[in-house]
C-alpha cells in the first residue's frame, strides 16, 4: 500500500484497512484544521488505487473493513468511486463495511440518485464533520456550509440509507459563545438524527488561523471545566432517537460513551459530578491530549 503524508481516520476505524483514494481535502480552509495543510487536493488515478487493492488482497488475509481516506474522499467523482467500491468487494470476499470521510459540500454536490448508487455499491458509513450548528461560528471557522446546508447534507445521507456518524468540536465558541454553540449544535443534530455522534475537543494547532487569533487575543480557548459545562448543555438539548454517543477521542478531557437517549441522565450526572468537584486530576492532562 502506498500512502502520501499523514493519514487520519476515525477512532472506530482503527482496525480497518486504510485506502487513500484522494489526497488532502478539497476544502482545506477550516480555521482550526491542521490535517491537510501540507497537501494539495487531488484524486488518485483509478489504476493506482486498484494496484493498491490487489497488493493488499495478496498480502493481507481476511480484510473485513476498509476506510477510504483522505479528508473528504466522498468528493471523488461518482463513477470512479463506484469502481473503487466494486473492486474492493471483488478483492475481499469477507468485506463487511466500507467507510469514508465527507464534508457537507460533498453530500450536497452528489444527486440523490448518485448517493443511492453509492450506497447500493456498498458504502456503509459516512463520517461527516459538522463541528458546530451555530451559523455565526460556521462562518467564523470557514466551514464552507451553512447550518441549513449541513442539515440537508445529513438528511440526504440518511435518505440514501447510509449510516451517518457526525463529529462536532467542543470549545469552538470559546467561553463567550459556549451556550449558543451547545444549543445550536444540539438542535442541528436533532434535525438530522444521526446513528453515531462523536465529540472532539478543540486543540489549537500551530500554523492554523485559529492559533493566530489566540495569539492576538481575539479568541480565548475555554478551560477544561467550561468544556464539561458545554457538553452538559449540548446533551441537555439533544433529542436523538437512537444514537451511539462517543467522547473518547484523544482530544477529550473526560472520556464518555453511551447510547442516546437511554444514557443521557447517566452521562449528565457524570459530567456534573466531575465539574462540580473541580478536580482536574480526573481529566486527561494536556500533555496526553492529541488529534
Ligand atoms: S473539511 Fe474537514 S479536513 Fe477539510 S479543512 Fe475542514 S475540517 Fe479539515
Q: What is the pLDDT of residues 11-57, one digit of tens each?
A: 999 999 999 999 999 999 999 999 999 999 999 999 999 999 999 99
Does residue 70 belong to any structural domain of this protein?
yes
Which set of grid coordinates corresponds to residue 52? 493498491
pLDDT of 62 above 90 = no
pLDDT at position 105: 97
70-76 mean pLDDT? 97
* E strands present in 150-252: 163-170, 196-201, 243-247
Q: How far apart are CA 199 and CA 187, in angstroms?
A: 15
pLDDT of 95 above 80 = yes
Average pLDDT of the chain to the nearest whole number = 96
Ligand 1 environment, Cβ below 6 A: 25, 27-30, 33, 35-36, 71-72, 103, 129
Does residue 60 belong to any structural domain of this protein?
yes
Report which ligand 1 atom has the smallest distance to the Cα of 29: 5
**Ligand 1, atom 4, residue with closest C-alpha:** 28
pLDDT at position 291: 78
Please give the helix or strand (H or E) that residue 252 lies within, else none. Answer: none
pLDDT of 171 above 90 = yes
Q: What is the dihedral of CA 228, 230, 232, 233, to 10 degrees?
A: 170
- Other CB atoms within a 10 A radius of the CB of residue 45 amount to 10
178-199 mean pLDDT? 98
Does residue 2 belong to any structural domain of this protein?
no
**Ligand 1, atom 8, residue with closest C-alpha:** 33
pLDDT at position 203: 95
Report which ligand 1 atom has the smallest distance to the Cα of 32: 7
DSSP character for 127? Answer: E
Q: How far apart are CA 232 and CA 225, in angstroms?
A: 11
- The count of residues in the chain is 291
Contact 40, 24 (CB under 8 A): yes
Does residue 289 belong to any structural domain of this protein?
no
pLDDT at position 61: 76
User: 113 CA distance to ligand 1 centroid (A)?
Assistant: 25
User: 272 CA distance to ligand 1 centroid (A)?
Assistant: 32
Does residue 4 belong to any structural domain of this protein?
no
User: 58 CA distance to ligand 1 centroid (A)?
Assistant: 33
pLDDT at position 218: 94
pLDDT of 70 above 90 = yes
CATH of the domain at 30: 3.20.20.70
Does residue 279 belong to any structural domain of this protein?
yes
Domain range for 278 is 11-283
Does residue 291 belong to any structural domain of this protein?
no
Report which ligand 1 atom has the smallest distance to the Cα of 28: 5
Does residue 290 belong to any structural domain of this protein?
no
**Ligand 1, atom 6, residue with closest C-alpha:** 30
pLDDT of 290 above 90 = no
Can you tell me whether residue 212 is helix, strand or coil?
helix
pLDDT at position 39: 95
Q: How far apart are CA 38 and CA 25, in angstroms?
A: 10
pLDDT at position 109: 97
Report which ligand 1 atom has the smallest distance to the Cα of 70: 3
Report which ligand 1 atom has the smallest distance to the Cα of 143: 6
User: 24 CA distance to ligand 1 centroid (A)?
Assistant: 9
pLDDT at position 287: 87
Tally of domains in the chain: 1
Q: How far apart are CA 66 and CA 83, in angstroms?
A: 15
Amino acid at each position: 500500500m502506498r500512502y502520501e503524508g499523514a493519514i487520519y481516520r476515525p477512532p472506530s476505524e482503527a482496525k480497518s484497512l486504510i485506502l487513500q483514494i484522494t489526497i488532502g481535502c478539497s476544502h482545506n480552509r477550516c480555521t482550526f484544521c491542521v490535517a491537510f495543510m501540507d497537501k494539495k487536493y487531488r484524486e488518485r488515478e483509478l489504476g493506482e488505487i486498484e494496484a493498491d487493492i490487489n497488493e493488499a488482497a495478496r498480502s493481507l488475509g481476511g480484510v473485513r473493513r476498509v476506510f477510504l481516506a483522505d479528508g473528504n474522499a466522498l468528493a471523488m467523482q461518482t463513477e470512479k468511486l463506484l469502481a473503487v467500491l466494486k473492486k474492493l468487494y471483488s478483492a475481499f470476499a469477507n468485506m463487511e463495511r466500507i467507510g469514508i470521510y465527507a464534508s457537507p459540500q460533498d453530500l450536497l454536490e452528489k444527486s440523490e440518485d448518485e448517493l443511492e448508487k453509492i450506497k447500493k455499491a456498498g458504502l456503509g458509513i459516512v463520517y461527516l464533520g459538522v463541528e458546530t450548528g451555530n451559523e455565526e461560528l460556521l462562518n467564523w471557522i470557514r466551514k464552507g456550509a451553512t447550518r441549513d446546508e449541513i442539515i440537508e447534507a445529513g438528511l440526504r445521507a440518511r435518505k440514501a440509507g447510509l449510516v451517518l456518524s457526525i463529529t462536532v468540536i467542543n470549545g469552538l465558541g470559546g467561553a463567550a459563545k459556549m451556550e449558543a454553540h451547545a444549543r445550536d449544535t444540539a438542535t442541528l443534530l436533532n434535525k438530522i438524527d444521526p446513528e453515531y455522534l462523536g465529540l472532539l475537543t478543540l486543540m489549537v494547532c500551530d500554523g492554523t488561523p485559529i492559533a493566530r487569533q489566540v495569539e492576538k487575543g481575539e479568541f480565548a480557548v475555554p478551560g477544561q471545566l467550561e468544556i464539561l459545562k458545554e457538553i452538559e448543555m449540548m446533551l441537555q438539548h439533544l433529542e436523538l432517537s437512537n444514537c451511539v454517543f462517543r467522547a473518547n477521542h484523544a482530544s477529550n478531557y473526560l472520556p464518555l460513551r453511551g447510547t442516546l437517549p437511554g444514557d443521557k441522565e447517566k452521562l449528565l450526572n457524570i459530567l456534573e459530578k466531575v465539574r462540580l468537584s473541580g478536580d482536574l486530576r480526573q481529566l486527561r492532562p494536556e500533555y496526553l491530549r492529541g488529534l
